[in-house]
Amino acid sequence: MKYPRYASLIMITLFAISARAQDSLLHLVYTVKAGKYTRHNTIISHPVQPKEGAVYQLYLVEGKKKTPVLSQTGNGRIAWNLGADLLPGKTRTFELWTNTKDALASNATEAVTVDNTAEGFTVKRGAETVLFYQAAIKDVPAGVDTAFRRGGFIHPAYTPGGKVLTNIQPKDHYHHYGIWNPWTDTEFEGQTIDFWNLKKLSGTVRVNFESNRNRSVSGPVWGGFLQVQDHVVLGKGTPDKTAIKEELEVTAYCGTKDVLIWDYNSKLTCGTASPIILKEYRYGGGFGFRGAEKWNNENSAVLTSEGKTRKDGDMTHARWFKITGALKGGQGGILVLSSPKNFNAPQPLRIWPEKDQNGQVFAEFSPTKDKAWKLEPGNDYLQEYRVITFDGDLTAEQAEAYWNDYAHPPEVVAKAKKTK
């Protein structure tokens, strides 16, 4: 089955120029408050309901100086990049005008774009490729059991400099697929189902190409895609059943210095009238990451928010983990932030110790590692993560600052104005 070309989400972009422009009106004044934290590479997002037919432009206000700022609306929100660092306790003011005569033109070299093909989604920021999401079934190497075939994963994920961070179908674990999140030990309608270990032919994850929820978005501030994935119980003489429906939404952002930033948000719902229990188990389900093929216990390092490493990180809880190592073309790495709203937060970690698996790198937020989770029909269950990729390295202090910005976003106060 060919992967459909989904139409981009219809958006109102705030840099558009209207042929019917009327007198300029000041619509809203936004005051952004840094609060307790230094704000760096910060994306601002705030609810907004655009008026039909109006043309909008956002300005940074510094005294009497007003500088146009790229912004974007969609899903009932307006988003823009805060710009220069904002220190603790400081504020920054923006004005949103309608029908202004000097609307800012989009800079296509910085926009986030999404290319849809029969294989999946390629997300780019300007000329830089952020990641590729493999929707179509990925075949296995010659001679490998075809039970290991699957789609619905991210590989490659890149640093800003184009270095590859992920690995798929490694010989030690053919069922490892870059960045992915199947559940391992579950109970569904009286059966024990494993969606992770594909060779068991118990369960798998399939991309749902037919869902009307699937979409992609490109824009001057953010872009990405939403893809429905079905967690399928494989029938043995009976029809397959979708035990979990998952909406995976990946959103990348523009304007961030020296790093790529993207969100990986998963919404789970029951696929039938039956609940499913995600049983306590050491692997599976949150955010799984198989590290670059080149990485081993001598040329890479893992650090968690609690100061743990590969020596002592497994079975601990953390707000973030960071992996840095030698890659083709130089050093680079990935920082993964787990939302404080996630189940069992701060979440448990599965990290391969240094001497395991010939030193290869695997790390995962595994929310059910020490606590079962029952999903009931009619409810939504969210798992949200933010990913920062980088060349070189980040310090623990920088990683903590990114987590604070994500977990405790700046306060935005909006006041309506109707003055000409």
Give 97-114 pLDDT, tens digit per residue.
Answer: 987 665 665 555 679 999
pLDDT band of 160, cuts 50, 70, 90: very high
d(CA 407, CA 119): 34
pLDDT, position 83: 95
Q: Please say if the pLDDT value at position 283 is more than 80.
A: yes
For residue 343, give the amino acid letter: F
Per-residue model confidence as pLDDT tens digits over 289-305: 999 999 999 999 999 99
pLDDT of 284 reads 86
The per-residue pLDDT for range 301-325, each reduced to its tens digit, is 999 999 999 999 999 999 999 999 9
As a whole number of angstroms, the distance between CA 56 and CA 358 comes to: 56
Kindly write down the DSSP assignment for every residue of 88-124, as one continuous string. TT-EEEEEEEES-TTPPPP-TTT-EEEEE-SSEEEEE
Instruction: State residue 55's pLDDT score.
Output: 81
* Predicted structure pTM score: 0.93
Going by C-alpha positions, the residue among 60, 62, 105, 55 that lies closest to residue 81 is: 60
Q: What is the pLDDT of residue 418?
A: 58
